[in-house]
Amino acid sequence: MRHILILGGTTEARQLAAELAAEPTVRVTSSLAGRVAEQRLPAGEVRVGGFGGPAGLAEWLRSQHVHTLIDATHPFAQVISRNAAEAAAADHVPLFALRRPSWVPVPGDRWHPVGSLAEAAEALPALGRRALLTTGRLGLAAFAGVEGVHLVARSVERPDPPLPPDLVVLLDRGPFQLDGERDVFREHRIDLLVTKDSGGAATAPKLAVARELGLPVVIVRRPELPSGVRAVADVAGVLELLRAS
């Protein structure tokens, strides 16, 4: 029985867990950070909470006899990705990162790439007056000092302070559809979009609406994977590698 640990929380992580849970020779465990109160639990075994850094994760890999580690976290979850790389190297456990491809601009896009949420906040006043933020509730503190721009932030759960002074929070969860995104832009008179390069189709319609309207998009570049970690673009690719190992 091969034990595979998935560091999850993404749609792809749940899809992978479902595929592996159907394999009779595989034990699959999904680890969730626990930051969202109403989790969508994947198939197979589930654990919630941190490991206590790379040393704690390495100990868990050893004690649970993990055969392969899959980092299927959000592309911006830098800490857990770094911990996974260190733990896998320490225990000589194969590690793959399941990462949906980055978004690529097409004709009509007005993208303004930045390296961080802080840079995104600095860019806002020169680009618009009513911005839709889809950067996640944990990143809103970076915009707390923004003045002169009305911010509409979309979040799965209500964010904690510090928050921007002129803020409306939309509680919603993807995937999002094109017509629904058009309604959001129209109702809130959005003239600027701020997002992270999360990739994938579930949240891409907002980019299409910004393109339709000719609006600028401040897009935060995703961080690089830790050195030596192999990225796999989709669930099918991970399954192929696992079956070949």
Looking at residue 169, which CATH number applies to its domain?
Answer: 3.40.50
Is the per-residue pLDDT at 93 higher than 90?
A: yes
Asked if 130 and 205 sit in the same domain, the reply is yes
Domain containing 73: what range?
A: 2-101+223-244
pTM of the shown model: 0.89
What average pLDDT does range 218-227 have in this prediction? 96
User: Is the domain of 198 the same as that of 132?
Assistant: yes
Please tell me the least confidently modeled range out of 24-38, 55-69, 136-150, 178-192: 24-38
Same domain, 170 and 215: yes
With tokens 């806002």, the residue in question is 124
pLDDT at 187 over 80: yes
DSSP state of 102: P
Q: 96 and 71, same structural domain?
A: yes
Q: Based on the structure, what is the number of domains in the chain?
A: 2
Residues 197 and 234 in one domain: no
CA distance 107 to 104: 10
Say what the pLDDT of residue 34 is. 74
Cross-strand partners of 30:
6, 46
Rounded (5°) CA angle 220-222-224: 145
> Are residues 63 and 122 both part of a single domain?
no
Residue scoring higher pLDDT (229 or 175): 229
CA distances in angstroms from 225 to 21, 71, 136, listed in the order given: 27, 10, 20
CATH number of the domain encompassing residue 28: 3.40.50.720
Q: Which of the four pLDDT bands, split at 50, 70 and 90, describes residue 35? A: low
Q: Residue range 78-97: average pLDDT?
A: 97
Examine the domain organization and report whether 156 and 207 are in the same domain. yes
Mean pLDDT confidence for 212-228: 96
Mean pLDDT in residue range 104-110: 96
pLDDT of residue 36: 56
Judge if 51 and 97 occupy the same domain: yes
- 15 and 94 assigned to the same domain: yes
Mean pLDDT of 32-60: 88
Average pLDDT of span 181-196: 98
Q: Does the structure show a pLDDT above 90 at 73?
A: yes
Residue 203 pLDDT > 90 = no
Do residue 91 and residue 177 come from a single domain?
A: no
Contact 231, 100 (CB under 8 A): no
- State the chain's maximal CA–CA distance in angstroms: 59
In which band, very low, low, confident or very high, does the pLDDT at 39 lie, cut at 50, 70 and 90?
A: low
